[in-house]
Amino acid sequence: MTLDEELEVEHHLSHGMYAKRMSLKAGFVIGTHKHNFTHMSILAKGVARVEAGGESKVYKAGDCIEIAADVEHRIFAIEDIVWFCIHATSVTDAALIDETLISD
C-alpha cells in the first residue's frame, strides 16, 4: 500500500485551483515539509496540531489555515481528520502536483 492509498488521497482540479484531500487516522503525522507557494488548508473533520515556523497550534473541524511559502510545517492528527490543502496552480496533472508545489 502506498502512502497516498493509506491516506485515502483524492485530487481535485478546477480552473487554476487544486485541492488535495487526505484522511489521517489519530496519531498519524505528515512529516516536515514546505511549499513553494503560500496556500490555504481546511480541516474538515477532527482535531489536528500544526507546527509551523517554530510555533504550534491546535485546530478543529471547520478551521481554515494559511500555510506560508517556504515555512517548514508538519501536521499531527490528534483525532481522525480530513484535511484539504488548497493551491492556486496551472498544473493540471495530479501526478505532477507534489513536485510542483512541495520544496526540497
Q: What is the pLDDT of residue 98?
A: 66
Q: Read off φ and ψ for residue 75, nearest 5 degrees.
A: -120, 130
Residues sharing a CB contact under 8 Å with residue 77, sequence separation 6 or more, in sequence order: 24, 25, 26, 27, 28, 29, 46, 48
pLDDT mean over 66-77: 94
Q: Is residue 101 predicted with pLDDT exceeding 90?
A: no
Q: What is the pLDDT of residue 23?
A: 96
Task: Record the cell numbers describing residue 82, joined without a space.
Answer: 480530513
Residue pLDDT, tens place only, 23-63:
999 999 988 888 888 999 999 999 999 999 899 999 999 99
Q: Regarding predicted confidence, which is higher, 70 or 95?
A: 70
CATH topology of domain 3-91: Jelly Rolls (2.60.120)
Q: What is the pLDDT of residue 36?
A: 84
Task: Record the cell numbers describing residue 25, joined without a space.
Answer: 487516522
